[in-house]
Structure formats: C-alpha cells, structure tokens
Amino acid sequence: MTTRLPNSSAPRPPQPPLWGRLPLGPYRVGYQTSYQLDYGRSYDLSFPDRGAYHPRKQPRPLLVNVWYPARAKASAEPLRQGEYVEIVSQNAALKVFSERLAAFHRQILQGVMGKPLGELDAAEQAALDCYWKTPTAAIKDAAAAEGRFPLVLNHQGYGSTFADNTVLFEYLASHGYVVVNSAFQLRDAAVLGIDHDPDRSSKDLNYLLHHAQSQLPVDMDRIGAMGQSYGAQAVLAWVAEADPAVRAVVSLDTTLEYSSLDREEIREERGIRVNVSLRDVRTRFEKATRMTAPLLIFTQARMAPQFALYEKLPHTERYYAQVRHVHHGHFVSLSAVTGDLRPRVTDEHGVGTARQIREAYEQMCLLTHRFFDAYLKADEQALGFLQSTRDASEQSPAGTEERPPGAITWQYQPAARGEEAQAGNA
C-alpha cells in the first residue's frame, strides 16, 4: 500500500541518499533562505582588501535559513548539496557581502575531502563533484504544510557552516519541526567566520526567535534549541542568561565536559582569538539556578567526559549521552555521513570505521528526535523511552531495521525537588 503524506495526495518520496537508514517523516521538507536586517545593531560592510578604508555602516544583516514541513508533489526536484550555499542577495547593499559569505561557506563545504582543492587528484575531484550534486531532502520554497509546528533554533561551531548538519535539519523538518539557523558572523564584514562572543550569539538568537514568531508557521509555546561545539556553548549561555521560552536544549559536544571547572584557556583558531574556557557558560549557570529547560548533552565517550558543570542546574532534567566511535567533527552530517569520500589518514584512539561513525550519527539523530518529541510534543512514549533505557539501540523506531547496540549510552538525571533543590542552590 502506498503511504500518503499529510495535506497532499502525493506518495512518499525516495529515501535521501545521505540519510542512511533514518526514517522519513510524514512531511516533505521545504527550505527557504533570506537576509533580514537587525536595526538594533550596526554593521560595517567594508573589508580591508579593497584599498582605502571607508566604513559603510548599516543594520546588521542576518542570513536566515529555514527547514520546515512542506507540501510538495513527489516529482518536485530537491536541492543538491552544493545549492545550500546559493545565498547571494539581490539587494544592492548586500550583494558583495553575500557573495563573500557564500564563497566562505562553499569553501568550508568543499573541505569535506579533508584537503585543499588544489591537492585533489582526479578521483577525489570526481568524488567531490558527485557529493556536490547529491540530492538533499529539501524542496526550495515549497509551500508550507498546514498548521503550526515546534521551532528548533540551531547554532553551529567555530570554523563551520550553516549547512554542516543538514541531514539532522531535514530529518527533523520531515517529522514536523521548523529548524532555523544563521551564519552568526563576526561584528563586521572583515571576517565572516564565528568567534567566541556569547553576547553577540545571544542577540542573533533573539533576533531569529522574534523573526520566527512573526514570519514562520511556528508554535511559540514549543521552542527548542541546539548547537554543536561553540554553538552548543552559545546556546547554553543564551538559555541560561536570556531566559527565552525554550523548553528543550540539545548540546552536541560542547567540549566543556573534558576540562575541570576551574580551567581557562586562550588560543588562536584560524586567526581568531578564542576563549575556550568554561567561564562564560559556568558564570551564567551560577546565576540561573532556577533554569528548568531539559538538557540532552552529547559527548565523546572516548574522552571520559565529566558532567559536574550541569549539576549547577538542579531544576533541570538532564540526559548525559556518551557516543562511541566518533570524534568532535562527527556530531554533524558534513563529517559523519561522508566518510567514504576521503581516505582514512590515521587511526585515532576510540574512533570507529566509517560505518560505525554513520551508525552513531544516525542514533544521535534518532535520540534528538525522541527528546524533542518528548518535551515539545508531549509524547509520553518518547519520554518513557528516554527515562527508562540507557542505550539508544535498545528500541528501534517503527519501520527501521534493528540497529547494532552500544553506539550511545546515557544517564538520566531527574530534576531535584523540594529540600534537595534547595540544598543544590546552597
């Protein structure tokens, strides 16, 4: 029997090539990209390689990318992977800026091969070209499905791109979520990457939240947030300090779990001075002891993570998830599902085969979906699974093959109550 989609007579589309065994949801996936202007902040569009410096101040431009449940014919042509970086604005004031931003993110995506473009041999170049043309699950500018859906805001990490985790974004959208992210660029157009500035990240996230409320088909009573690496740090700091109406947070390997609470460190990353200490998140947690948004904290099992930082939040439900077989980059699809494109250079302690990495990533997606279903859709079955099991492979979702055990294990830490909570705040 042919499965039908909500609000449509179209049959289910084919499985997206990069999804592996992730189950398709009941919706097609729409994708839109646009530029918005934050008039509350100024932004210098100049950059130093054009001779004399002439400041060009205007409101801060924010790239807004949206994955959402959609209505589309089965024959609708999906985006290709390379088309995610087609973000050039036709606005005359933003055209040069958007061209440079597109080139910056295209270069990061091309890094999927693990080496500079000029060093690729013919076979590697052909593999990159094939990846660039691989179909996604997203239909650009597809009509939105009827209704209002939970919102998930996403923040990527240092040196990364808004298109680094598109498999997870598409997967969530197909299951009834609106996912929004941005470029989170620095304070002016001289550098287009991301640095360690939680305050600026918080302001960008606040803007995205308000934009979603006014422009997107979202239910503002059901808001989630997630981030990877520094992006996870920024999201945690935002939720703790700004206290937005966020009801669930997913952290994808912040790296905060691998340092003692009193450690601080400054280093250079791609020419950017980065504070990689716990200070910014820790101090916000210390002022947010009444924070209640449940947390799903993913970490690398091989790094022997410690979770003492989160004990500063006694009123939150916490899930400490340890993922085997992966390194830091494997918490996003750009690295996790493309292992067959590039040769394995060296053996890294605790890192698995390309197949094991893909399995771990897919289980992370499934667990993220269950977590958001539990707390944003009040799914009692999902909540029961999260709180009663310790292994993401103990139950497989309906319609999927049985998965090998052991990729993700976790500990559930319930929120403290009564005198126990008061003792935690002391």
Nearest to 65 by CA among 55, 79, 52: 79
Query: Would you say 161 and 33 are in contact if contact means Cβ atoms under 8 Å apart?
Result: no
Summarised one tens digit per residue, pLDDT across range 394-410 is 655 444 444 445 799 99
- Is 60 exceeded by the pLDDT of residue 141? yes
What percent of the chain has a predicted confidence (pLDDT) above 90? Answer: 67
Residue-level pLDDT at 277:
54
- Is 60 exceeded by the pLDDT of residue 58? yes
Residue-level pLDDT at 116:
84
- Is 60 exceeded by the pLDDT of residue 104? yes
How far is 375 from 386, CA to CA, in rounded Å? 11
> What integer is the mean pLDDT of 117-134?
90
Residue-level pLDDT at 399:
44
Phi, psi (rounded to 5 degrees) for 143: -65, 135
Summarised one tens digit per residue, pLDDT across range 263-320 is 555 555 444 444 455 678 888 988 888 899 999 999 999 999 999 989 989 999 999 9
Three-state SS for 365?
helix
> What integer is the mean pLDDT of 193-215?
95
Nearest to 169 by CA among 81, 294, 62, 106: 81
398 token code pair: 């309906």
Phi, psi (rounded to 5 degrees) for 359: -60, -45
Summarised one tens digit per residue, pLDDT across range 217-271 is 999 999 999 999 999 999 999 999 998 899 999 999 998 888 765 555 555 544 4
Inter-CA distances, 314 with 34, 237, 365, 422, Å: 39, 16, 26, 9
Residue-level pLDDT at 10:
54
The DSSP-derived string for 273-340 is EEE-SSHHHHHHHHT-TT----EEEEEEGGG----GGGGG-TTS-EEEEEESB--GGGGSHHHHT-GG
Query: Would you say 363 and 403 are in contact if contact means Cβ atoms under 8 Å apart?
Result: yes
Band of the pLDDT at 326, cuts 50, 70, 90?
very high
CATH code, residues 60-69+148-425: 3.40.50.1820
Note the Cα 83 to chain centre separation in Å. Answer: 18
> What integer is the mean pLDDT of 86-96?
94
Q: Where are the domains of the chain?
A: 60-69+148-425
Give the number of other Cβ atoms within 10 Å of residue 220's Cβ: 14
Band of the pLDDT at 131, cuts 50, 70, 90?
very high
What percent of the chain has a predicted confidence (pLDDT) above 70? Answer: 85
Q: Which residues contact 242 (CB under 8 A, 6 or more apart)?
A: 202, 205, 206
Is pLDDT larger for residue 50 or for residue 128? 128
What's the Rg (C-alpha) of the chain?
21
Helix 198-215 vs helix 279-286: crossing angle, to nearest 10 = 70
Confidence (pTM): 0.91
Quickly tell me which residue has 């990689």 as its tokens: 276
Query: Would you say 79 and 196 are in contact if contact means Cβ atoms under 8 Å apart?
Result: no
Nearest to 244 by CA among 223, 263, 229: 223
Q: Which residues contact 118 (CB under 8 A, 6 or more apart)?
A: none
pLDDT averaged over every residue in the chain:
87
Query: Would you say 235 and 196 are in contact if contact means Cβ atoms under 8 Å apart?
Result: no
Band of the pLDDT at 151, cuts 50, 70, 90?
very high
Note the Cα 221 to chain centre separation in Å. Answer: 21
The DSSP-derived string for 320-332 is EEEESB--GGGGS
58 token code pair: 């205007």
